[in-house]
Amino acid sequence: MKKNIIAIGMVALAAMAMPSCSDFLDEAPKTALPEDKIYSDTTYIESNMQTLYKNWRSLFTDRYLWEQMVGTDEIQSGALQALKEDGGRRGSLDKYDALLTSELSFVVEQWEKRWPTVGEAAKIINAIGGGNLAPGTKKASLYGEACFIRGGLMMELAMLYGRIPIIDIGRQDQLGYGRQPLADVWAFIINDLKEAAIYCPTQNVPGRATSYAAQMLLGYAYMSAPEETGLRDFGKAAAALKTVVDGPFRLVDYYDLWDYSKSNTAESIMEWQFSCVWPDNNMVQFQIGSRAVQSYFGDGCYMSGYDHAVPTQWAYSDIADGGIWEDGDIRRDESIRYDFTYYGVTPTLDNITWEELGDDHDELLPHIKKYEDFRTDTHSGLGLNNMWYSGKNMPFLRLANAKLLYAECLNETGDTPGAVRQVNDVRRRAWEGSLPADKAWNESMSKDEFRTQVLTERVRELFGERWRKFDLIRTGRFLDYVSARNKWAKRSGTIRAYNVLWPIPLTEINQNDDMSTGDQNEGYR
């Protein structure tokens, strides 16, 4: 008999969230706590909640992050990964070729890593229930956070895979675990985030959701719901985002956002908490650093890595060269590394010519800089001496992002001048508080011009922060922009409109009683 991967994952995560076996060694033997006991006790729910956040945080670490970053017009795979690694399968995330299938491990693990967390959050929601909760109580806050987690992760799944199962414990017998109509999926996501906005605390410990974080994701959900669902609503999105923009946050110096000694700034609405100590390190530098640098200076150079995710030429070039960067914009050199000189020595490709990549060698072309962590460097004096231990906090939700989204909503609802003012607020920070007249956007620009320009502005502000793919999907620009600006997609020429979604993993289709081969996304096998 087929087994349901999603359901199995829900059980597995609940078990992981229980106290470890060592906790019981000094106690008399007891039978395992029944679920009704676990989910009626806020102490146990809190323990599970911490596990849920850690699991979501894991999607911002190691390979799981670059799997979501590449394949856009902003970031692509390094040449070795795109052309030679794993028999070419690694490069399929950029080339969108015949190797991008339902069996591709990168696609499978993005699916499988989310569902157990969704399922456990659903159990908490079902156990606590809404309606009669008093906002501000511990139980209400846990309920709100569980709604935030389920709604946020289901939104990511819906953006990546389209129609997905709905996990609602009280209706699971009715719903089953099959793919649900798109309108039902997005209505469910929006409702979760509305509940989260009501019940999440206004303040919380770093790395956990607040009502402001929930309002921001709710706004994004209203902006992202496919038009055919009838749920896309820029007015409602604007109302949610205005709550954030008018909230207790402020733009800080752009440099401070990437200073590991200044985590959780006044701009931060929610950021993932990391350190340089395993298992709380994120290992991102290993993915984004240069292999040519590593071959020259070793693992103890904070610029070292393996080129798993690198900027596209469009994303690192100046406007005069067909790219996005304007003279004087400080975000350029804070976001992207152009110079690999290390204590007076400039590396070359000499040590890696064996790769035989010819003109495709990109190990010394611009790389992602935002997440470089000097604490891992031999010269830091901390003794880490390995880029694997990188552990900067990762931004998730911050005020500049909220302001740019709010600006989109103002433009779509007829207030383009107001939208321009929001963007200019963000751009002013990019020129260190004094925006030159020729760099200020004109309030008389058209709605269509604003739509195009704000998407590029979001790359300047949010480069490498994992938003680009979602932005391209929700705005319908995915196919045109990726095919023109991603080197591997352009060269392959095989990207098609259906590639806006990833395939449903074959393991899920084969093992889920409520799915069949007919449930696969168009164009995939």
CATH number at residue 141: 1.25.40.390
pLDDT exceeds cutoff 50 at 243: yes
Residue 3, pLDDT > 60, answer no
DSSP assignment string, 63-102: HHHHHHHSSSSSEE--HHHHHTGGGGTTTHHHH--TT--T
Give the model's confidence band at 24: pLDDT under 50 very low, under 70 low, under 90 confident, else very high: very low
177 and 280: one domain? no
In a domain, 361, yes or no: yes
The residue from 328, 362, 392 where one domain ends is 392
Q: What radius of gyration, in Å, describes the C-alpha atoms of the chain?
A: 23
CB 341 within 8 A of CB 335: no
pLDDT band of 8, cuts 50, 70, 90: low
Same domain as 280, residue 227? no
Lowest-pLDDT range, 132-136, 218-222, 249-253, 419-423?
132-136
93-116 pLDDT, tens digit per residue, is 999 999 999 999 999 999 999 999
Domain span at residue 308? 274-392
- Interhelix angle 447-462/399-412, rounded to 10 degrees, is 170
Identify whether residues 67 and 209 lie together within a single domain.
yes
Residue finishing a domain among 341, 368, 392: 392
Tell me: do 53 and 151 sit in the same domain.
yes
Percent of the chain with pLDDT over 70: 93
Does 462 map to a domain?
A: no
> Both 56 and 170 in a single domain?
yes
In a domain, 329, yes or no: yes
Residues 283, 190, single domain; the answer is: no
Tell me: do 74 and 159 sit in the same domain. yes
Question: What tens digit of pLDDT does each residue of 446-489 get?
Answer: 999 999 999 999 999 999 999 999 999 999 999 999 999 999 99
Q: How many domains does the chain have?
A: 2
Averaged over 478-505, what is the pLDDT? 98
| pLDDT over 60 at 344, yes or no | yes
Residue where one domain finishes, among candidates 374, 392, 410: 392
| Domain-embedded: residue 488 | no
Do residues 49 and 154 both lie within one domain? yes
**Do 279 and 157 reside in the same domain of the chain?**
no
The answer on 101 and 49 residing in a single domain is yes
Q: Is 459 part of any domain?
A: no
Q: Does the structure show a pLDDT above 60 at 215?
A: yes
Residue 356 lies in a domain: yes
pTM over the 0.85 mark = yes
Q: What is the pLDDT of residue 19?
A: 28
In a domain, 249, yes or no: no
Taking residues 432-445, report their average pLDDT.
Answer: 97
Nearest alpha-carbon partner for 304 in 255, 382, 367? 367
Chain centroid to CA 25: 39
Residues 215 and 289 in one domain: no
The pLDDT tens digits of the residues spanning 356-366 come to 899 999 999 99
Q: Where does the pLDDT of residue 86 fall: very low under 50, low under 70, confident under 90, or very high at 90 and above?
A: confident
Q: Is residue 237 part of a domain?
A: no
Whether the predicted pLDDT of 10 surpasses 70 = no
Cα(37)–Cα(268) distance, integer angstroms: 36
Q: What is the mean pLDDT of residues 347-363?
A: 92
- Looking at residue 396, its pLDDT comes to 98
Structure token digits, residue 385:
């001496």
141 and 9 within one domain = yes
Q: What integer best gives the mean pLDDT of the chain?
A: 93
